[in-house]
Amino acid sequence: MELYELRALVGAADSGSFSRAAAILGSSRATLRKRVDALEKRVGQALLVRSPDGVEPTETGARFLPEARALLAQADALKCSLESKDDVHLGELHIVLPVGASPHTGTAIISTLRSRHPSMRIRTTVTVNPLLDFPVDADVVIHLGDRPRKGPFRVFGRPSGLGLYASGAYLEQHGTPTSLEDLADHDLLGWVRQGTDGRSWPLRGGGTVAIAPWFRCNEVHRLVLLVAAGQGISLLPMSMIVRPVAVGAELVPVLPRVVGGDESLYVLTPQATSQSARSRAVVRVMQEFAQRLN
């Protein structure tokens, strides 16, 4: 059996669907299906149950998965060990981040890279629109939003969801909205996403609802901190880029079946450098963080 077959199996089982696994692994759904089919043919038994709602391990698959994960971890550790010995040739890694990226997550990612590749030099640049403003020497571009159109990138996506959130303390003091009409009695904050002015929120059933926010900005992390501090309700992307807030406040969903939509975190590597050791190193770490935090 091949490592890429094991990785397809583990990715599908852990994410619950071939579509989500394809986004995580930077592959196509059809390719992952073929790899799992080939693996099942090798072992002579079904390892996943397929359904319209996704996939889940069979009884055999549940016994097989821990060993598959262990084998993949050993292979990855061996690869990291070999790469770390060649760190002197890695040079400087340049990561471009969007405005509002969580400093907590960024610090954790940089610390992990530093521990694995002690000789690697790291530089970050923050920009409003990473897709348009990325420097020519960028190794990795982090983008939060719609899937990038075709361009000089390899794309690794991680699905996430948009939703309304408030702190428990705020809801205890002001009450929890049960309808769109109730929002008029609350303090609202507007996220100025790309292509929006922060004065409307997407609805699950389609369309938008207009709001009158007391505060608007394009910095996601600033909004998260304000919401956690009890300053109102805001639309937020609960992806790995904003989730670790470390401010002592748990964020509570508001009208989760009414307001919200889809948003994704994308890790883009310019085609010219996508196969460099530097780019592969950071993409691997980002995928690990995405699997843990989403």
pLDDT digits (tens, 9 = 90+) for 68-124: 988 888 887 776 666 555 555 678 888 888 876 666 667 778 888 888 888 888 898
Lowest average pLDDT, out of 85-99, 166-180, 216-230, 236-250, goes to: 236-250
CATH number of 3-84: 1.10.10.10
| Summary mean pLDDT of the chain | 81
Q: Which amino acid belongs to residue 179?
A: S
d(CA 143, CA 272): 18
- Token code pair at residue 225: 């901190």
Distance of CA 168 to the CA centre of its chain: 25
**Helices 3-15 and 29-43, axial angle in degrees (round to 10):** 110
- Backbone dihedral angles phi then psi of residue 38, each to the nearest 5 degrees: -65, -40
Helix ranges (H only) for 127-256 are 130-133, 168-174, 220-228
DSSP for 32-47, written as a single string: HHHHHHHHHHHHTS--
pLDDT of 281 > 50? The answer is: yes
Q: What type of residue sits at position 50?
A: R
Give every CB contact of residue 290 below 8 A, 6+ residues apart in sequence.
24, 158, 240, 265
CB 234 within 8 A of CB 223: yes
What are the sequence ranges of the domains in the chain?
3-84, 89-294
Task: Please give the backbone phi and psi of residue 197, each rounded to the nearest 5 degrees, phi first.
Answer: -110, 5
DSSP letter at 151 equals: S
Higher pLDDT, 29 or 287: 29
pLDDT at 172: 94
Count of beta carbons in the 10 Å neighbourhood of residue 258: 18
pTM listed for this prediction: 0.58
Fold entry, domain 89-294? D-Maltodextrin-Binding Protein; domain 2 (3.40.190)
CA dist 235 and 259 (Å) reads: 8
Q: Which residue has the higher pLDDT, 102 or 125?
A: 125
φ and ψ at residue 252, rounded to 5 degrees = -115, 130
pLDDT given for residue 244 in this prediction:
43
| pLDDT for position 240 | 43
Hey, which residues does 262 pair with through a beta bridge?
Answer: 161
Instruction: Note the pLDDT of residue 294.
Output: 47
Residue 221 three-state SS: helix
